[in-house]
Amino acid sequence: MANITKKVSWSSRGDYSAQGEDTPLLNGDTGAARYTRQLSGGSIFHIGRLSTVDLEEDITTEEDGVLSWPKEIPHNEKLLSLKYESLDYDNSENQLFLEEERRMSYMGFRCLEINRWVVCGLIGFLTGLIACFIDIVVEILAGYKYQVIKKSIVNFTEAGGLCISLILWAVLNSVFVFVGAVIVAFFEPIAAGSGIPQIKCYLNGVKIPRVVRLKTLVVKVCGVICSVVGGLAVGKEGPMIHSGAVVAAGVSQGRSTSLKRDFKIFEYFRRDTEKRDFVSAGAAAGVSAAFGAPVGGVLFSLEEGASFWNQMLTWRIFFASMMSTFTLNFFLSIYHNKPGDLSSPGLINFGRFDSDSVEYNLYEIPIFILMGALGGILGALFNLLNYWLSILRIRYIHRPCLQVMEAILVAAVTATVSFTMIYFSNDCQPLGQDQSEEYPLQLFCADGEYNSMATTFFNTPERSVRSLFHNPPGSFNPLTLGVFTLTYFFLACWTYGLTVSAGVFIPSLLIGAAWGRLFGILLGSISPKDSNTWAGPGKYALIGAAAQLGGIVRMTLSLTVIMVEATGNVTFGLPIMLVLMTAKIVGDYFVEGLYDVHIKLQSVPFLHWEAPATSHSLTAREVMSSPVTSFNRIEKVGNVVDVLSNTTTNHNGFPVVNEFIDNNEPGKICGLILRSQLIVLLKHKVFVERARSRLNQRKLQLKDFRDAYPRFPPIQSIHVSQDERECMMDLTEFMNPTPYTVPQETSLPRVFKLFRALGLRHLVVVDNENRAVGLVTRKDLARYHLGKHGLEELQLAQM
């Protein structure tokens, strides 16, 4: 079995891949790829200490030394996937773009700004409607399920045969989860999970296939309903963020490519830059609908999602968030026959804490910080266990049928464990008016009492969280809370990562609320009985919930505001912030946050805010891809077609240079043109000869490029005759004449900062004579990271 060494071929790169040798084009003409001199340090620069990767298939080495990659490579943290491309967040300011901008009047720009506000309002409205639909359907279906199971348990408690109730519970859970897993595994796998890691990558500039499709939204909504009703340890709040992002991506384009309907509106927004801003608003609207936290939604989009920000975007996102919350609460109030009552805070109603339960003293601050540290440790343990479990899934449960079977197994085990915990629990509490149980189970308790363990297991997770927050002291004994915390911790860890639509927010809050309330009970037990020093276990449930969620997802400011808005009380703002900061610091010491872990599991070329701390010794010369495939200002059509058709490369950006003097020397750069632009030019036959003859049609406009966005046709679908191959293309009008460039000796941190801050896809490296000698893309920067042995370089693989 062969090993992959550190020196790899760069010939299948998503954004730009440099040919490692003088590769002939499909027609045998090498004129288009003119610069083939390998610069020192290009792809043979070695850093740190890297392990080799054993593959399932042998690697054959060709005569020229290029490695032939297998179709599938097992996951390895030292690999970076080549299948991900970047988004064009930097506008191409070519002649067409500048002419359109110059023709637009002041009122035209004002109308565009108004349209942006209209789109954000539509995003919030539709996201709120989707959240309302999910909430109502889950409430109805879960209500029917729990009523049927409760009736069975009541009947068989006296007559015997509770195993029938257990089987009924397991079967009902399995049926719902089966439906949810099938539609995800077989129809749209990208709809699995919460979708937050994928949206985070999208906003970072990575093109995740099918992540914002209409089909993804439909499967996401139906899948999360099935997952929650199926009794899995999941929540419906996380997927709302993905749903809002999909709504934003669709509404902002004024058409649906899936339904092949074009409403001829918002055509100006059909580009990656504008879509990115609206997707940020959609993610915020999803958070706002989930927790009733408009400000928290804005901060979430800023902290966890958006990689690029401006002041006007903040207000538009806030407007979308407010509209989302208002829409959800308005329609829910109508559904609950309370028209005009907009007090419901969102999908999850934490309930408002009374004045007695929200009081705290300064001497409790160290206790809260200690709980934050515990939340960081437990969150790190959760993430680490889930990481290894996800590795096993990637290696052994990668077929859809196996993924469905695992989901059914988890649903059945969850029902069995829940029933067993309830059956053997002797924690009986009097049934009073202070309790908030929706489906109280008496089981073996005396008349007028209910099984307290059933409050946590025999309920939707959202209602269980509310019970732990607000039920009066004495509603749970310590053993019940301890057993539930331990059991639900492992169930939630096993569940997250299944091929179902599900979120981790509510399970994390539920786990933290359980051990937080237990913490409060233990504090109360060591204090004098006539003292109220540690009164109110509900406040410790709140702190524990924040600590656990913060320890898992590592959010700070946004989660603080979300918790404050969801509970309707600002008193605990300071303690929650201290707890979340402590949880993040402690958790980061052991392992990354859960979303970052899953981004790394997918080998996505994700760019963090800063370059690795010890990377100043690297320069652009050493990280760039070289040699460069370039085009002349006036290029032969056959050369363009051959370069775009070359299956060994997948270039997406090409420097445009002046006439080559020598095929072994690069030309002076005068612009940059994208693959998508070249495909549109070929599709419309924009050739010099046609422009000079009567065959010339109307002048190509930006609308032609926007109509093809975002699914540009593949080069194989464009027919170019042999006569047309001899024609010439003038790229001057369509190329970006002012691409960003850096000298060869620019340090990696400076290159990284420029690339990241401007949202670039390509950064041209030039020599002292302004000749294009290399190109920096996302993967060139993402492959460097800090490891155990210092600065390390990830290997690139087709995964």
- Segment 492-536, tens digit of pLDDT: 999 999 999 999 999 999 999 999 999 998 888 877 665 555 567
Task: Please say which residue of 573, 601, 629 terminates a domain.
Answer: 601
Q: Provide the 3-class DSSP secondary structure of residue 601.
A: helix
Cα 392 to its chain centre, rounded Å, is 21
Pick from 730, 659, 718, 658: which is nearest to 690 by CA? Answer: 730
Q: Provide the 3-class DSSP secondary structure of residue 790.
A: strand
Minimum mean pLDDT among 155-164, 344-353, 582-591, 760-769: which range? 344-353
Q: Can you name the residues that pair with 429 across neighbouring β-strands?
A: 450
In the chain, the N- to C-terminal Cα span, in Å, equals 18
Q: With respect to residue 49, please indicate whether it lies within any of the assigned structural domains.
A: yes
Amino acid of residue 109: F
Question: Cα-flanking dihedrals φ and ψ of residue 790, to 5°?
Answer: 95, -150
Q: Which residues contact 85 (CB under 8 A, 6 or more apart)?
A: 14, 15, 206, 207, 652
pLDDT score, position 399: 92
Q: Provide the 3-class DSSP secondary structure of residue 250.
A: helix
Task: Please say which residue of 547, 569, 601 terminates a domain.
Answer: 601
Q: With respect to residue 171, please indicate whether it lies within any of the assigned structural domains.
A: no
Q: Provide the 3-class DSSP secondary structure of residue 435.
A: coil
pLDDT > 70? residue 340: no
Let me know whether 560 and 458 are in one domain. Answer: yes
Let me know whether 625 and 761 are in one domain. Answer: yes
**Confidence category of residue 481, pLDDT binned at 50, 70, 90:** very high
pLDDT > 50? residue 615: yes
**719-732 burial code (b ≥16 CB/10 A, e <16):** ebeeebbebbbbbe
Minimum mean pLDDT among 76-90, 99-113, 378-392: which range? 76-90
Q: With respect to residue 375, please indicate whether it lies within any of the assigned structural domains.
A: yes
Mean pLDDT of 362-391: 94
pLDDT > 60? residue 358: no
Q: Provide the 3-class DSSP secondary structure of residue 678.
A: helix
Question: What percentage of residues in the chain have a pLDDT greater than 70?
Answer: 83
State which H helix or E strand residue 155 sits in.
helix 106-159
pLDDT > 60? residue 41: no
Residues 684-699 have pLDDT tens digits of: 888 887 666 655 556 7
Mean pLDDT comparison of 87-96, 464-473, 539-548, 787-796, highest-scoring range: 539-548
pLDDT > 60? residue 335: yes
Pick from 222, 289, 282, 226: which is nearest to 253 by CA? Answer: 282
CB 548 within 8 A of CB 379: yes
pLDDT > 70? residue 660: no
Query: What is the Cα–Cα distance from 670 to 214, expressed in whole angstroms?
Result: 40
**Integer CA distances (angstroms), 641 to 24, 685, 707, 755, in order:** 13, 12, 22, 29
Mean pLDDT of 411-420: 94
Three-state SS sequence of 302-344? HHHHCCCCCHHHHHHHHHHHHHHHHHHHHHHHHHCCCCCCCCC
What total number of domains does the chain contain? 2
Task: Please say which residue of 577, 601, 625 terminates a domain.
Answer: 601
Let me know whether 507 and 644 are in one domain. Answer: no
Mean pLDDT of 453-466: 86
CB 415 within 8 A of CB 231: yes
pLDDT > 60? residue 420: yes
Cα dihedral value 109, 110, 115, 121, nearest 10: 140
The three-point CA angle 691-694-697 to 5° equals: 60
Question: What percentage of residues in the chain have a pLDDT greater than 90?
Answer: 50
| CATH code of the domain covering residue 728 | 3.10.580.10
Query: What is the Cα–Cα distance from 775 to 766, expressed in whole angstroms?
Result: 9
Query: What is the Cα–Cα distance from 196 to 433, expressed in whole angstroms?
Result: 39
Given the DSSP bridges, would you call strands 653-657 and 669-674 parallel, antiparallel or unpaired? antiparallel
Let me know whether 39 and 64 are in one domain. Answer: yes
pLDDT > 50? residue 71: no
pLDDT > 80? residue 352: no
Preceding peptide of 430 cis, ω within 30°: no
pLDDT score, position 656: 93
**Confidence category of residue 353, pLDDT binned at 50, 70, 90:** low
Amino acid of residue 765: V
pLDDT > 90? residue 408: yes
Residues 619-643 have pLDDT tens digits of: 999 999 888 889 999 999 999 999 9
pLDDT > 80? residue 351: no
pLDDT score, position 687: 87
pLDDT > 70? residue 12: no
Query: What is the Cα–Cα distance from 59 to 43, expressed in whole angstroms?
Result: 19
Residue matched to tokens 């490692």? 20
CB 329 within 8 A of CB 444: no
Q: Can you name the residues that pair with 765 across neighbouring β-strands?
A: 742, 774
pLDDT score, position 696: 53
Mean pLDDT of 266-282: 92
Question: Cα-flanking dihedrals φ and ψ of residue 4, to 5°?
Answer: -90, 120
Q: Can you name the residues that pair with 631 across neighbouring β-strands?
A: 656
Given the DSSP bridges, would you call strands 795-797 and 79-81 parallel, antiparallel or unpaired? parallel
Let me know whether 576 and 637 are in one domain. Answer: no
Cα dihedral value 472, 477, 481, 487, nearest 10: -140
Let me know whether 590 and 636 are in one domain. Answer: no
Q: With respect to residue 64, please indicate whether it lies within any of the assigned structural domains.
A: yes
Higher-confidence position of 46 and 538: 538
Pick from 437, 526, 407, 545: which is nearest to 485 by CA? Answer: 545
Q: With respect to residue 229, please indicate whether it lies within any of the assigned structural domains.
A: no
Let me know whether 14 and 40 are in one domain. Answer: yes
CB 576 within 8 A of CB 610: no
Amino acid of residue 525: S
pLDDT score, position 130: 95
pLDDT > 90? residue 409: yes
**Tokens describing residue 426:** 């002797």
pTM for this entry: 0.87
Q: With respect to residue 37, please indicate whether it lies within any of the assigned structural domains.
A: yes
pLDDT score, position 2: 33
Mean pLDDT of 317-339: 88
Let me know whether 642 and 768 are in one domain. Answer: yes
Mean pLDDT of 736-765: 93
Average pLDDT of the chain is: 83
| CATH code of the domain covering residue 434 | 1.10.3080.10
Let me know whether 580 and 680 are in one domain. Answer: no
**Confidence category of residue 320, pLDDT binned at 50, 70, 90:** very high
Higher-confidence position of 551 and 19: 551
Let me know whether 629 and 749 are in one domain. Answer: yes
Burial class (CB within 10 angstroms; exposed 0-12, middle 13-18, buried 19+) of 177: buried
Let me know whether 388 and 509 are in one domain. Answer: yes
Q: With respect to residue 611, please indicate whether it lies within any of the assigned structural domains.
A: no
Q: With respect to residue 189, please indicate whether it lies within any of the assigned structural domains.
A: no
pLDDT > 60? residue 486: yes
Helices 478-495 & 400-424 angle (0-180, nearest 10) = 180
Q: Which residues contact 563 (CB under 8 A, 6 or more apart)?
A: 542, 545, 546, 572, 576
Mean pLDDT of 336-362: 63
**Confidence category of residue 346, pLDDT binned at 50, 70, 90:** low
Domain containing 18: what range? 4-88+617-797
Q: Which residues contact 529 (CB under 8 A, 6 or more apart)?
A: none
pLDDT > 70? residue 780: yes
**Integer CA distances (angstroms), 241 to 124, 191, 194, 256, 317, in order:** 12, 12, 8, 20, 13
Q: Which residues contact 109 (CB under 8 A, 6 or more apart)?
A: none
**767-783 burial code (b ≥16 CB/10 A, e <16):** beebbbbbbbbbbbbbb
**Confidence category of residue 5, pLDDT binned at 50, 70, 90:** very low
**Tokens describing residue 712:** 């540009």
**Integer CA distances (angstroms), 673 to 24, 441, 505, 717, 733, in order:** 22, 67, 43, 20, 10
Higher-confidence position of 434 and 166: 166
Amino acid of residue 310: N
pLDDT score, position 458: 87
Q: Which residues contact 108 (CB under 8 A, 6 or more apart)?
A: none
**Tokens describing residue 795:** 């290997």
Amino acid of residue 276: R
pLDDT score, position 665: 74
pLDDT score, position 65: 35
Query: What is the Cα–Cα distance from 174 to 262, expressed in whole angstroms?
Result: 40
pLDDT score, position 16: 58
Mean pLDDT of 595-611: 90
Let me know whether 704 and 570 are in one domain. Answer: no
Residues 224-256 have pLDDT tens digits of: 999 999 999 998 888 999 999 999 999 999 988
Three-state SS sequence of 50-117? CCCEECCCCCCECCCCCECCCCCCCCCCCEEECCCEECCCCCCCCHHHHHHHHHCCHHHHHHHHHHHH
Burial class (CB within 10 angstroms; exposed 0-12, middle 13-18, buried 19+) of 450: buried
Query: What is the Cα–Cα distance from 117 to 319, expressed in whole angstroms?
Result: 8
